[in-house]
Structure 1
Amino acid sequence: MKKITVLVVDDSAFMRRMLQDMINSDPDIEVVAVARNGEAALKKTLELKPHVITLDVELYEENGLDVLTKIMAQCPTPTLMVSFATQKGADVTLEAVRRGAVDFIAKPSGQISLDIEVVKEELIEKIKRCREMDLRINGNLADNKHEERKRQADDDTKRRDPLRKIICIGASTGGPKALYEVITRFPKDLQAPVLVVQHMPSKFTKSLAERLNETSLCNVSEAVQGEIIQNGHVYIAPGGYHMTIKEDGKYLRIDLIDTPPLHGVKPAFDLLLQSLCPLNHDQFIIAILTGMGKDGAEGTKQLKKRTSCYTIAESRETAVVFGMPKMLIETVEVDEVLPIYRVASSIINQVY
């Protein structure tokens, strides 16, 4: 089998060597070149046409965003952003995802010996998933987005108040871009709260919420312990905590719990869904988007046994990684399997 070829772009010689060693430890992947700046990165991309690029967010001579923009314009290549888990790094990384990067990984922390194996496993898995994707898909996601979003907002604000419903969305690899596609299409007065679990570190979920809030008609925020969930508001589970829901009289409140990771992730979508099982609602609308692993499938199964659930899985056509949607399809009877650009309208139809 032909090896997956990778170009590593980082201005630190130490980090280039570390990433190269981690990547080359897998027999199916090979680093064919390294670059220390944007000029070299673009030149080697055009010459070698690697299957995947790992790109440092904060290059010394030229920032990673500008380099990414040039690469996507001249030689579109699946790209993983590499960033330190700082607030600045999170902000820039999510802007890179908006500009075309597939996903990101956090650089090993100062205590490298403790987390290098975790980073290596994630890096290798994401490189393999990047190789499977088709970048042509991403160019079609936002077609007519503004026009459709405005039409949906005009139509949906005229509808009657619905029965009590809760929307739950789970995503992992490739999720930030998918969430932009879905959440920015919701009307301002959406008659349901939206609970989102995206597998990301803490500072990244805060940045994700802020960016979604800037571009969405609904209010979007990182979930806060004890707050009451309300219609028309999107709550992003904070990285490093599991987001669950507790009933408090006539209110439903966010309950953030600091228990061990589930399926290797924290937050976990399964734990959110399981916390909803005791609630008496007319319907839960569950959408599982792109991502590796099985998070959300078991929780959906448990919730469907107890109450009415409408389930949506993102289709292979647009999912960067079809793992989580595929597992949902194999675990429960899914109501719809849809490309990402049709998920929002399906959710809205169920709300009203």
Structure 2
Amino acid sequence: MSGARPKAVVVDDSHFMRTLLSDMLEGGGVTVVDTAANGAEAVTAVCEHRPDVVTMDLQMPEVDGLEAVERIMADCPTPILMLSAHTADGADVTFEALEKGAVDFFTKPGGEVSTRMSSKEDQLVRKVKAVAEADVSGNSATSTGRTADRSTGGVASEGGEYRDGATVVVASSTGGPTVVESVVSSLPRDADLRVLVVQHMPDAFTSRFADRLDAASEYDVVEASGGDRIGGGEVLVAPGGNHLVVAGAGGGRLRTKLNEDPPEHGVRPAADVTMRSAAETVDGPLVGVVLTGMGADGADGIAAIHDAGGHVLAQDESSSAVFGMPKRAIETGCVDEVLPAGDIPGGVLEAIKLEVNA
């Protein structure tokens, strides 16, 4: 599809929103081949037109967005971008949609019908085009290969002793939430890692994302609030709208702070900010991980981690919904291993294992 106008189906129960979204996409170089007012119509339209991407409203009569995602991924798998309300409730339902196979989401400002959507036109078009490139043939948005052994809290095949005070910084964007959850939930508690997660996501969503990670993992996961101190067995999630900075290290803990410095690569939080500060500050083993996502965030950061003597992993193309961020990281020449999503936790553990002399 590269170089061609992507084809889209627009799904929303509001006629106004369908028209607004269609006009925005057409003006941005996306051909809208059909629209639908509910989930049932959406499934029919998608299976008939075989578009490159679907924009899907969540709350609709008869068949809602969640059920429509499930049916589309079962009958005619297609990259789906959810349109979500910028609320905590909207976040919860959106994460359910991602679990069912949607690739990413976009928040609608000001409720279901708002002319303020036009102020986000460029962002929407970029995200639609990125999602259109996603590979969902194997439902890579939800399938991450190797899974955690939840009964023991980690990757069952891993073992051994680990170096003390290891820090892991994870960068992710489009297609990332389910992969991040799989990675974090697969890390064994006895590795005693300090984990920083930077997932491109708006502020109404990152606290809910942290709650989900906390429920899925043996690690204690919270959204960063500024001035946090993180020790082994703890995970901090960068909040939407703020960069997460490692400001100090000592006594087995990291001291972090938040700032509202300008976005990098058009995003805040940016993984580059967190990774660079970690490379400058962390006093123990350091691992950088770049997962699926569009754009170049993470490339400069992993170069800094590499130069500081850390270990760098990137998700491979076949398991990435969008290979933009890993590809740019790999192009730096600073990535030590390129792994399927399901092998990332094992790669992290291998990087921090104690070397045992025979």
TM-score, normalisation: structure 2: 0.89
CA distance in 1, matches of 2:51, 2:331: 34
Distance 1:249 1:75, change over 3 A: closer
Counterpart residue number, 1:278:
280
* Residue in 2 that maps onto 1:128: 129
Count, aligned residues: 348
- Out of 10, 23, 28, the residue aligned to residue 8 of structure 1 is 10
Matched residues in 2 for 1:54 and 1:112: separation?
16
Contact kept? 2:298, 2:325, Cα under 8 Å: yes
| 1:31 lines up with 2:1 in the alignment | no
1:186-197 counterparts in 2 under 5 A?
A: 186-197=187-198
Q: 1:292 aligns with which of 290, 294, 313?
A: 294
CA distance in 2, matches of 1:302, 1:324: 16
Instruction: Spell out the pairing of 1:30-49 with structure 2 (5 A cutoff).
Output: 30-49=31-50
**CA separation of 1:50 and 1:277: change in aligned 2, threshold 3 A:** closer
In structure 1, C-alpha distance between the alignment counterparts of 2:313 and 2:146, rounded to whole Å: 22
Deviation of 1:282 (Å): 3.1
Deviation at 1:147, TM superposition (A): 4.6
Q: Distance in 2 between matches of 1:205 and 1:245?
A: 18
Q: How do 1:227-266 residues align onto structure 2 when only pairs under 5 Å count?
A: 227-247=228-248, 250=251, 251-266=253-268
DSSP 3-state at the match of 2:139: helix
Report the residue type matching 1:99 in the other structure: K
Tell whether the 8 Å contact from 2:38 to 2:61 is kept in structure 1 after alignment.
yes
Once the two structures are superposed, residues 15-45 of structure 1 have per-residue CA deviations (whole angstroms, 9 ceiling, x without a partner) of 1111101110133x21111111122112222
Q: CA deviation at 1:143?
A: 4.9
> How far is 1:189 from its partner?
3.0
- In structure 2, C-alpha distance between the alignment counterparts of 1:335 and 1:249, rounded to whole Å: 27
Partner residue in 1 for 2:201:
200
- Aligned-partner Cα distance in 2 for 1:167–1:285: 5
Instruction: For 2:291, give the aligned amino acid.
Output: L
Contact 2:207 2:223 in 1 (8 A): yes
Kindly state the Cα deviation for residue 223 of structure 1 after the two structures are TM-superposed: 1.5
CA distance in structure 2 between the partners assigned to 1:313 and 1:155 by the alignment: 21
CA contact (8 A) 2:313 2:339 kept: yes
Shift of 1:97: 0.5
Question: After the TM superposition, which of the residue ranges 278-287 and 79-88 deviates more from structure 2?
Answer: 278-287
Higher helix share: 1
Q: Where does residue 340 of structure 2 map in the other structure?
A: 339
Against the structure 1 CA distance between its residues 277 and 248, is the aligned structure 2 distance closer, same or farther, given a 3 Å change threshold? Answer: closer
Q: Give the match for residue 356 of structure 2.
A: none
1:329 maps to which residue? 330
Tell me the CA shift for residue 112 of structure 1: 6.2
Q: Supply the distance in 1 between the matched residues of 2:170 and 2:103 (Cα, whole angstroms).
A: 19
How many angstroms apart in 2 are the aligned matches of 1:99 and 1:114?
A: 29
Distance 1:127 1:135, change over 3 A: same
Q: 1:277 to 1:47 in 2, by over 3 A?
A: closer
Task: Tell me by how many angstroms 1:61 deviates.
Answer: 3.6
Give 1:291 deviation, angstroms: 1.1
Taking the aligned partners of 2:134 and 2:154, their CA distance within structure 1 comes to: 30
Are the counterparts in 2 of residues 149 and 184 from structure 1 also a CA contact under 8 Å?
A: no
Secondary structure of the corresponding residue to residue 100 of structure 1: coil
Q: Which runs of 5+ in 2 are unaligned?
A: 354-358
- Contact 2:254–2:282 (CA under 8 A) maintained in structure 1: no
Where in structure 1 do 4 or more consecutive aligned residues deviate above 4 Å?
Answer: 110-115, 146-156
Corresponding residue SS for 2:280: coil
Residue matched to 2:214: 213
Question: What is the Cα deviation at residue 217 of structure 1?
Answer: 2.5
Match of 2:53 in 1: 52
1:62 lines up with 2:63 in the alignment: yes
Secondary structure of 1:294's match?
A: coil
Q: In structure 1, how many angstroms separate the alpha carbons of the residues matched to 2:295 and 2:343? A: 23
Q: Deviations over 1:95-118 (max 9, x none)?
A: 11111001111114479676634x
Question: Aligned to 1:267, which of 254, 266, 269?
Answer: 269
1:285-320 CA deviation, whole Å, 9 max, x = no partner? 001011111112112223333x22100111111112
Alignment check: 8 A CA contact 2:148 2:154 kept: no
Q: Could you report, residue by residue, the CA deviation over 1:216-268 in whole angstroms, capped at 9, with x for unpaired residues?
A: 23222212222210111221100011111122653422201122212210101
After TM superposition, the score normalised by the length of structure 1 is 0.91
Structure-2 residue corresponding to 1:101:
102
Unaligned runs of 5+ in 1: none
Separation in structure 2 between the aligned mates of residue 31 and residue 115 of structure 1, nearest angstrom: 17
